[in-house]
Amino acid sequence: MRSVVKLIALVAIAVLMSCNSEPSLQQYFVDHQGDADFIAVDIPSSLLDKEGISLTTEEKEAIESIKKVNFLGLPLNKSNQPRFEEERLVIKKILNDDTYQTLMSFGSNGTKAVLKYQGEDDDIDEVIVFATDSEKGLALIRVLGDNMRPEKMAKLASSFEKGKLNLDAFKSIAKTFE
């Protein structure tokens, strides 16, 4: 009987130790989806207008590797400045986890942004963009996919810049921060 109790105690301890008390980015998104202060939008890749445009093979492969884009934003106003600071620090702490690799950080004129990814260097599962603006608020974007390749995603980003893809799904989101 003693050995059964010891075995149960060891299993319980192992289960408790394996539970990570640190919040994950996915859990952060779930926790804030219904929050009235936040704007939360899930955009399937099907909303990216792929028809009627000419994409290179690499651009097509890149866009097909994207499953969906999650957007979470907190527009800044006079009444939520303390919450903005609190949420900014929470997100920053989550993204400082070793599972996220930094691609680049940049900022100017009160705007800061960091681009991170999760996965292998040649097989990205998730790209994260976290941006804050001292006057407009914060935005957190997750690009989820399978077998996303950095070089193909760079080509796709170039096609966004050239206006080859329809970004109407994102324009209405951006207007809420103006």
pTM over 0.85: no
Half-sphere exposure of 165 (CA within 13 A, CB side): 23
Q: What count of Cα atoms within 13 Å lies in the side-chain half-sphere of residue 168?
A: 5
HSE (side-chain half, CA atoms, 13 Å) at 81: 4
- Where do the domains of the chain lie? 22-175
- For residue 24, pLDDT beyond 70: yes
pLDDT given at position 120? 83
Residue that the structure tokens 């077998």 belong to: 147
Query: What pLDDT digit, counting tens, does each position of 64-75 carry?
Result: 888 888 999 999
SS3 12: helix
Question: What are the two backbone dihedrals, phi and then psi, of residue 59, each rounded to the nearest 5 degrees?
Answer: -65, -40
Rounded CA separation 176/157 (Å): 23
Residue with tokens 């919040």: 23
CB atoms within 10 A of CB 161: 9
Q: Can you tell me the distance from the alpha carbon of 117 to that of 146, in angstroms, rounded to the nearest whole number?
A: 13
Rounded Cα distance between 29 and 115, Å, is 17
Question: CA-to-CA distance for 38 and 87, rounded, in angstroms?
Answer: 11
Instruction: Output the six-digit token pair for 145.
Output: 């996919």
Residue-wise pLDDT tens digits, 93-127: 999 999 998 888 888 888 999 888 888 877 888 88
